[in-house]
């Protein structure tokens, strides 16, 4: 028979509950009072802990911005990976490895370790907790889920966010890389860019710039998220160029080789590749070369600069297209400047002199112009100063001359140093009706609604002069006397100019004298009748030339790439 409580029992229970509630309430009031007054608990400063914890959690959970190409193909992104460990002896809970044989057998299906190797790790008598070496690191989320579904007691995971690059080799020095570092100011670990775009745009990609701005302006900054960045690079063309440079680099073993494709009318950088390069994910090979050649390395450009010398001279009316000069050699103060074949081609026109790459022809034009005026032209074209690319460690090159002979020799690309990005910006004038375009590699930011806007830096050359020189560059490819015949293409008409620049002797005065101790280069516009693209390739000192000229070696990169560009339009 069920027994019901009496009224007396009920009153007793109510009285007891009321007393307990009052006691708990008093304790809570006292506890909150202690916290409000002392702001500490267990010797921890709650104010400092709260600030650090809020900031740390928001940053730790934040995503670094993804880097995309112009078509939205991912280049660099955050991924979560896991490190696995096993609890062998737990004093704080019962979740420890129970059956070592079974656990080893199951885990051998997922790790690059044998069952016996895993069992040896699990039977460590001196450890409460063990890891599984490299085999237990960088475990993917899918693999972690599969292991979790095995319900193995004592098997646990730590997560970490790392930067993942879709292609191991993809404009590596331009893209750069990011690694996890501890930020003392933010008091947490963050992914921090080291070189290239990852470094130059680190504040935007990480979100730290906006986070700190909000804090400085007393705006709620409870979450940190990076900005996605879309580049002007085209993944299809970039990957194709990477493959071509790889073949060329292994076959001819140059000290270095680089190639850049630019959309002429906009200045958009479509490809940027170099060798030596490095693996973006493992950093293998980075010790061979840390510098981003596009902006960090300057060299004497050689005869490609002659297209600017002739265009400027034509603009200033310093010669007539039918006017001739005697090639071969010319006295410049106390020195003799010779054409590359030492004896010249007799009396030829200045226009033909460009196609034959005559040093004497451009020297005579600069003498008419005045050496100081020519240096001024180089300055106006952007040499000797930063392009403000936004990339780390950009060099200004060198436009400092210690004698008048060097000023005149700069007419054919010796005596001063320029970076590839400076050359690209200057050369856009020839393919773009005289307008000089800023070379840009950022298409847009996700946080901004603004799309890419081209930037005209000026018009240092008239449209007439640019068109005239462009036609001479076609002759350089098409005529039997042209020095760029190796770049005649069956798919599209090419306007090109080659360069063979001496290399300063690093151990003393003067230049190196070996047969292949040169910077070989070519700048080309195509289609020649209405240029859409500019391609610039340079190569330093091929160590295994196999009897081929510099132009012949470069043409092996040039032709398949140009054809690929035209196919992918």
Which stretches within 319-381 are classed as H helix?
A: 350-356, 359-369, 371-380
Tell me whether residue 495 is in a domain. yes
125-152 burial, b at 16+ Cβ within 10 Å, e below that, comes to eeeeebebeebbeebeeeebeebeeeeb
The domain that holds 368 is classified in CATH as 3.40.710.10
Tell me whether residue 305 is in a domain. yes
- Please count the structural domains in the chain: 1
**306/311 Cα distance (integer angstroms):** 8
| pLDDT of the residue at 49 | 29
| pLDDT of the residue at 138 | 87
Q: 224 versus 133: which is more confidently predicted?
A: 133
| pLDDT of the residue at 508 | 78
Tell me whether residue 130 is in a domain. no
Q: What band does 207 get if pLDDT is binned at 50, 70 and 90?
A: confident
**Over the chain, what is the mean pLDDT?**
87
312-346 burial, b at 16+ Cβ within 10 Å, e below that, comes to bbbbeebbeeeebbebbbbebeeeebebeeeebbe
Strand pairing partners for 178?
Answer: 193
Tell me whether residue 231 is in a domain. no
- Which residue range forms the structural domain that includes residue 487? 237-441+450-568
Tell me whether residue 255 is in a domain. yes
Which member of 206, 303, 327, 389 is catalytic? 303
**Tens-digit pLDDT profile for residues 531-555:** 999 999 999 999 999 999 999 999 9
Residue 23 pLDDT greater than 50, yes or no: no
Tell me whether residue 504 is in a domain. yes
Tell me whether residue 559 is in a domain. yes
Q: With beta carbons less than 8 A apart as the criterion, state whether 408 and 363 touch.
A: yes
Residue 569 pLDDT greater than 50, yes or no: yes
| pLDDT of the residue at 89 | 85
**305/381 Cα distance (integer angstroms):** 11
State how far the alpha carbon of 245 is from the alpha carbons of 237, 489, 490, in Å: 12, 19, 21
State how far the alpha carbon of 178 is from the alpha carbons of 89, 181, 280, 281, 317, in Å: 37, 9, 9, 10, 53
**Tens-digit pLDDT profile for residues 380-418:** 999 999 999 999 999 999 999 989 999 999 999 999 999
Q: Angle at CA 210, nearest 5°, toward 209 and 211?
A: 90
Tell me whether residue 489 is in a domain. yes
389 belongs to the catalytic site: no
Residue 157 pLDDT greater than 70, yes or no: yes
């Amino acid at each position: 028979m069920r027994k019901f409580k009496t009224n007396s029992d009920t009153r007793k229970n109510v009285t007891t509950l009321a007393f307990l509630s009052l006691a708990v309430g008093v304790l809570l009031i006292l506890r909150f009072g202690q916290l409000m007054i002392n702001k500490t608990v267990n010797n921890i400063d709650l104010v400092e802990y709260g600030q650090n914890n809020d900031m740390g959690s928001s940053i730790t959970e934040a995503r670094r911005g993804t880097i995309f190409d112009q078509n939205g193909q991912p280049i660099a992104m955050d991924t979560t990976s896991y490190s696995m460990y096993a609890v062998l002896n737990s004093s704080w809970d019962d979740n420890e490895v129970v059956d070592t044989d079974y656990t080893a057998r199951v885990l051998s299906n997922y790790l690059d370790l044998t069952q016996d190797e895993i069992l040896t790790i699990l039977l460590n008598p001196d450890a409460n907790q063990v890891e599984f070496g490299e085999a237990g690191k960088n475990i993917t989320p899918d693999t972690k889920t599969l292991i979790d579904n095995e319900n193995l007691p004592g098997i646990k995971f730590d997560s970490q966010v790392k930067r993942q690059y879709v292609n191991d080799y993809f404009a590596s020095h331009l893209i750069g890389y990011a690694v996890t570092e501890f930020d003392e100011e933010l008091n947490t670990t963050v992914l921090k860019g080291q070189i290239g775009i990852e470094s130059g745009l680190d504040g935007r990609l990480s979100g730290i710039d906006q986070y700190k701005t909000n804090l400085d302006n007393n705006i709620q900054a409870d979450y940190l998220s990076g900005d996605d960045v879309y580049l002007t690079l085209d993944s299809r063309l970039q990957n194709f160029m990477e493959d071509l440079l790889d073949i060329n680099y292994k076959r001819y073993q140059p000290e270095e080789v680089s190639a850049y494709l630019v959309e002429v009318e906009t200045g958009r950088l479509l490809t940027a590749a170099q060798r030596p390069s490095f693996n973006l994910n493992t950093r293998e090979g980075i010790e061979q070369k840390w510098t981003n050649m596009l902006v960090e390395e300057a060299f004497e450009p050689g005869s490609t600069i002659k297209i600017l010398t002739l265009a400027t001279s034509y603009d200033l009316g310093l010669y007539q297209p039918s006017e001739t000069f005697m090639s071969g050699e010319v006295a410049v103060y106390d020195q003799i400047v010779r054409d590359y074949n030492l004896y010249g081609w007799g009396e030829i026109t200045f226009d033909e002199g460009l196609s034959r790459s005559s040093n004497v022809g451009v020297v005579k034009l600069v003498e008419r112009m005045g050496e100081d005026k020519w240096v001024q032209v180089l300055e106006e074209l952007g040499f000797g100063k930063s392009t403000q690319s936004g990339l780390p460690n950009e060099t200004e090159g060198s436009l400092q001359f210690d004698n008048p002979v060097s000023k005149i020799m700069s007419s054919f690309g010796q005596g001063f140093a320029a970076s590839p990005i400076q050359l690209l910006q200057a050369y856009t004038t020839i393919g773009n009706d005289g307008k000089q375009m800023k070379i840009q590699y950022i298409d847009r930011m996700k946080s901004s609604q603004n799309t890419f806007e081209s930037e005209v830096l000026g018009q240092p050359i008239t449209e007439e002069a640019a068109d005239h020189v462009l036609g001479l560059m076609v002759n350089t490819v098409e005529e039997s006397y042209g020095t760029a015949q190796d770049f005649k293409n069956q798919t599209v008409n090419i306007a090109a100019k080659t360069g063979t620049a001496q290399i300063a002797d690093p151990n003393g005065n003067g230049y190196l004298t070996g047969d292949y101790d040169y910077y070989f280069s070519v700048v080309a516009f195509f289609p020649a009748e209405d240029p859409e693209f500019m391609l610039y390739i340079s190569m330093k000192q091929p160590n295994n030339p196999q009897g081929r000229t510099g132009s012949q070696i470069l043409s092996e990169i040039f032709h398949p790439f140009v054809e690929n560009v035209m196919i992918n339009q």
